[in-house]
Structure 1
Amino acid sequence: MVAHFAALAFTGCIIYVAWPGSSLFSWHPTLMAIAMGLLMFEAITVFSPSSSLIVSWQRSTKANIHGFMIAASMCAAIAGFIVIYYNKELNNKEHFTTWHGTMGLITFVWACVQCTGGVLLKYNWLISSWKIRLADMKLYHATAGLCAFTFVSITIVLALFSDWFNSVATGTTWWGAFATLGCLSLMVMQQITTAYLPQSRIIKPKPITSKQDKRKERKKQK
């Protein structure tokens, strides 16, 4: 439950300081926090054996829920992207001139590519001629997903250092947003690396049962 509390706390913190509806710009952090800090995170933790709310459900059902939540996340992200682009156009400002803007664009494009990979993984018969093993496709998708959430985390951290956030967030709010974001990033990293990195196995020696085997073992030791 800690994971879900952290996701809700972070998203709630951003929505609180943004106060959606107070301006056109306010919808950008609101939609992006919902997209990346809540929906994308919850979509990833669907498969977590320790944090998932549906841990006992079939994997195929989890995969469908994961896909629906990622689709919702991307819809919110696209809306947030359109808002900030249109807001800059209204104010005659240049686009992608800050580290946050540039990293946000990279993250947005990477997320779109990652979603395409997820669709190909679900409907893998579309690329059957590529002769890629399903296990390898899952590994690639999970690794790319880890990269995607890493990019998300970097983009949000850069946003926390923006003039806007520092003008609306107090010290406690700033550190609260930073701490919960760090918690989300560590949970995603731990889940994906534990599930997909190769695990070392200890091979136990076979027990010696017969007297003949015991004699052979003594000879080997001598």
Structure 2
Amino acid sequence: MTTQRENENSDTPEYELLPTQTDADDNPTPPPMVSEDMEENRQGDTMARHAALIFSSIVVAVTWTITLTSRPSGWFALHPPLQSLALLLFTFGIITLQPTNKPKTKAAGLARHQIFVLLLAFPVMIFGTFAAWYHKFLRDAHHFKSWHGIIGVISMLWLIFQVILGGGSVWYGGWLFGGDMKAKALWKFHRLSGYLLFPVLLFTAHLGGAWSSWGAKHTIWIIRFVAYTIAPLGVLIGVYTRIRFVFEFEQAVPKID
């Protein structure tokens, strides 16, 4: 009996041969080929990205044109151009990190985000804010008299907090905030805080360009309306359109067995 079973088992191949090219053609089962870009981007993301960059570039172009053609003097001449440039850099720094859900693209996006936000936009906006403050200091003028000035200072303090929170949650494994899960939780809060701060920065630019004596003196109302009302709204819509609310919520909620 044992010999017969062994003979029967020996007739059955332990490993099957791979199908020939003809067999493969008869039963094609190609693996799905989906690029990372297709998986991460949905319809409308590219258009939203272009819209955000174009509208923020309009703010920069109009602001720099007004400043250069009005031939300003003193420290205030640095304030509008630097703040508008910082907004453009912030916009690119945000959209370059969205949407990313793969380790490779997340790492590359985070590197670009830190370059444009931390190394470029943040110091530019700090210096632009200092220029406005120092201009008033030299003239012994009152500070924070307008909503533009008040909200601007609030947004700058918020921005400093945002930078500390973001850097501390990712540098050296989030060592500043306890590392690991604590740092990851704070990173989610940093992301939410950034999406709330960004419209405040845009609204500050709107007040400074559309409702200030500087804007009214050097340009007509329709240009101010397009550059400092329509354009900031376009930037905000472009950035917010690319947010992955559902994906982030699913990642944040732990599974309960």
What TM-score do the two structures reach when normalised by structure 2? 0.68
SS at match of 1:192: coil
* Residue number in structure 2 paired with 1:181: 232
What secondary structure does 1:58 align onto? Answer: helix
| Residue type of the alignment partner of 2:56 | A
Say yes or no: does 1:83 pair with 2:131.
yes
Given that 2:169 and 2:176 are in contact with CA atoms closer than 8 Å, whether structure 1 keeps it comes out as no
Question: Which residue is equivalent to 1:149?
Answer: 198
What is the CA–CA distance in structure 2 between the aligned matches of 1:27 and 1:35, rounded to whole Å?
A: 12
Matched, 1:29 2:80: yes
| Count of aligned pairs | 193
How far the C-alpha of 1:119 sits from its partner, in A, is: 0.4
Q: What are structure 1's unaligned runs of at least 5 residues?
A: 200-222
Aligned partners of 1:85 and 1:7: how far apart in 2? 24
- Give how far 1:198 is off: 3.1
**Deviation of residue 80 (structure 1)?**
0.7
Report the 3-state secondary structure (helix = DSSP H, G, I; strand = E; otherwise coil) of the residue aligned with 2:141: coil
1:127 aligns with 2:177: yes
Could you tell me how far apart the structure 2 residues matched to 1:118 and 1:27 are? 28
Post-superposition shift, 1:45?
0.6
Deviation, structure 1 residue 130: 8.7
Q: Which residue of 1 aligns with 2:24?
A: none
Alpha-carbon distance change, 74 to 45 in structure 1, aligned in 2, over 3 angstroms: same
Identity %, equivalent residues: 20
Question: 1:35 Cα shift?
Answer: 0.9
Task: Map 1:42-61; keep pairs closer than 5 Å.
Answer: 42-49=92-99, 58-61=105-108
How far apart in 2 are the matches of 1:131 and 1:8?
Answer: 38
Q: Give the Cα–Cα distance (whole angstroms) in 2 for the partners of residues 129 and 64 of structure 1.
A: 19
Distance 1:10 1:196, change over 3 A: farther
Unpaired runs of 5+ residues, structure 2, are 1-49, 251-257
Kindly report structure 1 stretches of 4+ aligned residues shifted beyond 6 Å.
Answer: none
Q: CA deviation at 1:133?
A: 5.8
Alignment partner, residue 245 of structure 2? 194
TM superposition shift of 1:191 = 2.8
- Aligned-residue CA RMSD in angstroms? 2.5
Matching residue of 1:219 = none
Mapped partners of 1:195, 1:173: distance in 2: 38
Please tell me whether the aligned partners of residues 146 and 192 of structure 1 are also in contact (alpha carbons under 8 angstroms).
Answer: no
Distance in 1 separating the partners of 2:234 and 2:246: 18
Counterpart pick for 1:14 among 63, 68, 84: 63
Structure 2 match to 1:212:
none
Residues 188/2 of structure 1: CA separation in 2 closer, same or farther (3 Å cut): closer
- 1:139–1:196: 8 Å Cα contact kept in structure 2? no
Q: Which amino acid aligns with 2:108?
A: T
Q: 1:58, CA displacement in angstroms?
A: 2.3
Which range moved further: 17-26 or 116-125? 17-26
Partner residue of 2:219?
169
